[in-house]
């Protein structure tokens, strides 16, 4: 039985949407045991509504508090130690569950997981791996927001984590790995990327060198690595651009009756276009490098996204991704040094 803790209070529409999605996962995946973490008084109504209040594969853990989206990430550790995301992290730390799913405060999830659950052996900092759409398929962006400030060893370890995720997601060996920079030449970039380039070039991985922001959407690599500051800007920029494009298309396609007729005829094509970049199919992004499985979903996740995020959490457990990451880090000699681990400890 795979044990997954679900943050019932995390998300813009929690707990209703979370419980609905959890219910679908409960019936679709009979090998999962789900622990619902949240304020029992607020979620009991929804447990009754969806008919799972007395389900044998459901456990409840009461969490008095919730880290709100506008609050600082450190609130999960200092001000609200009984919050739902903190309680989830404690369950994972104590090996009472195998994985955690949350659509709540991303920073709080990263902070609670890093401090309470800790990182894998030799890993200095965890990173968020996000599946991104490209012209001919998808690619993995690593890190998409967990670490605004990075050192070269972080980017090296992100590459190995991304490699393991690519083996899982694309079912392939030796995925191509690119370092996001301002030019393809070896000499381009800042001090961080230049030093990381040197280290990556000497490693036994399929490193293709620097890649630029315009070419990564041409699927020239399966994994794109960068620090969390750049990655989050790229991610949010793509989200904003996608909304703008849809707005522009709606405007031009409804400009006159002829175009409106054409839009009606092409509505299935528009649905296919939307589904190509639909993050709800994935359900959430893994926080890789943590000594456990943590899946972080978008705050606006629908029940379908919650269901799929819980599914992915279980699949990661079965795949054994953390063992693969540890083995690759040791094989390549990319273990963080004691001083680097100490630096990360002080930052936490």
Same domain, yes or no: 266 and 146: yes
Same domain, yes or no: 168 and 117: no
Residue 10: phi and psi, rounded to 5, are -90, 130
The pLDDT of residue 343 is above 90: no
| Tens digits of residue pLDDT in 103-155 | 999 999 999 999 999 999 999 999 999 999 988 889 999 999 999 999 999 99
Q: Which domain holds residue 101?
A: 1-126+289-348
Number of domains observed in the structure of the chain: 2
Same domain, yes or no: 19 and 44: yes
Domain termination residue (choose one: 229, 247, 279):
279
Same domain, yes or no: 139 and 104: no
pLDDT value at residue 255: 84
- Computed over its alpha carbons, how large is the radius of gyration of the chain? 21
Give the residue with greater pLDDT, 282 vs 152.
Answer: 152
Domain assignment present for 218: yes
Over residues 195-221, the mean pLDDT reads 95
Over residues 4-17, the mean pLDDT reads 95
pLDDT value at residue 330: 92
The pLDDT of residue 278 is above 70: no
Domain assignment present for 18: yes
- Mark 186-198 as b/e (b = at least 16 C-beta within 10 Å): eeebeebbbbbbe
| Tens digits of residue pLDDT in 23-58 | 999 999 999 999 999 999 999 999 999 999 999 999
Over residues 325-348, the mean pLDDT reads 73
Same domain, yes or no: 166 and 246: yes
Angle at 99 between CA 98 and CA 102, to 5 degrees: 160
Same domain, yes or no: 231 and 303: no
Peptide bond just before 143 cis, omega within 30 deg: yes
What CATH number has the domain bearing residue 344? 3.40.718.10
pLDDT value at residue 232: 94
Same domain, yes or no: 141 and 274: yes
Same domain, yes or no: 263 and 156: yes
Same domain, yes or no: 148 and 245: yes
Same domain, yes or no: 324 and 342: yes
What confidence category does residue 246 fall into, taking pLDDT thresholds of 50, 70 and 90?
confident
Over residues 281-293, the mean pLDDT reads 93
Domain assignment present for 284: no
Same domain, yes or no: 270 and 141: yes
Distances in Å between the Cα of 273 and the Cα atoms of 111, 133, 270, 298 are: 36, 11, 5, 20
Domain assignment present for 206: yes
Same domain, yes or no: 138 and 273: yes
Residue 61, strand partner residues: 37
pLDDT value at residue 54: 92
Over residues 305-326, the mean pLDDT reads 95
Lowest-confidence pick of 40-44, 66-70, 148-152, 216-220: 66-70
Domain termination residue (choose one: 254, 279, 304):
279
Domain termination residue (choose one: 224, 256, 279):
279
């Amino acid at each position: 039985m795979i044990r997954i803790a679900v943050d019932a209070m995390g998300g813009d529409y929690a707990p209703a949407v979370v419980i609905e999605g959890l219910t679908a996962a409960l019936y679709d995946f009979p090998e999962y045991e789900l622990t619902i973490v949240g304020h029992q008084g607020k979620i009991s109504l929804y447990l009754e509504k969806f008919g799972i209040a007395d389900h044998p594969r459901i456990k409840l853990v009461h969490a008095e508090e919730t880290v709100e989206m506008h609050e600082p990430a450190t609130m999960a550790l200092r001000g609200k130690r009984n919050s739902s995301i903190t309680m989830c992290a404690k369950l994972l730390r104590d090996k009472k569950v195998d994985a955690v799913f949350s659509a709540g405060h991303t920073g709080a999830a990263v902070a609670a997981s890093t401090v309470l659950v800790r990182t894998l052996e030799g890993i200095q900092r965890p990173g968020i791996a996000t599946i991104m759409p490209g012209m001919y398929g998808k690619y993995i962006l690593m890190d998409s927001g967990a670490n605004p400030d990075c050192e070269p060893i972080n980017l090296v370890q992100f590459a190995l984590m991304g490699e393991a995720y690519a083996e899982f997601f694309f079912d392939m060996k030796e995925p191509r790995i690119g370092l996001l920079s301002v030019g393809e030449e070896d000499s381009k970039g800042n001090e961080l990327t230049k030093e990381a380039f040197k280290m990556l070039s000497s490693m036994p991985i399929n490193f293709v060198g620097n890649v630029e922001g315009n070419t990564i959407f041409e699927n020239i690599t399966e994994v794109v690595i960068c620090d969390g500051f750049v990655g989050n800007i790229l991610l949010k920029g793509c989200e904003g651009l996608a909304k703008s494009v849809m707005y522009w298309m709606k405007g031009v396609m409804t400009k006159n009756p002829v175009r409106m007729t054409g839009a009606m005829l092409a509505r299935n094509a528009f649905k296919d276009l939307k589904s190509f970049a639909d993050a709800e199919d994935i359900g959430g992004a893994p926080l890789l490098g943590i000594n456990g499985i943590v899946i972080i979903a978008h705050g606006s996740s629908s029940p379908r996204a919650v269901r799929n995020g819980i599914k992915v959490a279980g699949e990661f457990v079965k795949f054994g991704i953390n063992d693969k990451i540890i083995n690759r880090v040791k094989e390549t000699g990319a273990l963080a040094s004691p001083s680097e681990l100490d630096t990360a400890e002080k930052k936490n």
